[in-house]
Amino acid sequence: MSGRRVVAVTGASSGGGAALATAFGALGWPVAIGARRSDRLAETAQSVAAAGGTAFAHPLDVTDADSIDAFFDAAGTALGPIGVVVNNAGIGIPGRIHELAVAELEAELATNLLGPMLVTRRALPAMLEMKCGDVVFISSMNAVSPRPFQVGYTAAKAGVEGLAQA
């Protein structure tokens, strides 16, 4: 297992998160997978196992610090300390800024920007204690080349770019 660490992937119920979790599993890395759509995590766990890896699935809402704590506590018990975090969870709610509800804008910012901040804040103490760790932020071309009707998503991803640099 030299060089392999436990990796946590947020937003792992579908898309890029599921693909990343499966790819880490194929490399033999133990993978903690979390998402709000916990019913879909079983499919990702099966994909990780089919690729030859070990997956631990647990519900995770990156906008909720208590949910993040529960995820990291359960994953740490099941697989060991998290050495890599992939901040992948994200949502997009297209629309014109003046037509979007405040709650929709808040949801995009909470998931796409505050979520990676909270997850990273939770993951770092163990990484510092191990003197080893990697944090990955999934951004978007929207951060540098905004697309119409994606105001909340674009603003959040630009914030993620700043967060990663800071």
CA distance 93 to 90: 10
- Rounded alpha-carbon distances, angstroms, from residue 32 to 65, 70, 102: 17, 12, 32
CB neighbour list of residue 14: distance below 8 Å, 6 or more residues apart? 35, 37, 40, 44
**Gyration radius (Cα) of the chain, Å:** 16
Whether 153 is catalytic? yes
Candidates 24, 56, 72, 153; catalytic one: 153
Q: What are the residue numbers of the active site?
A: 153
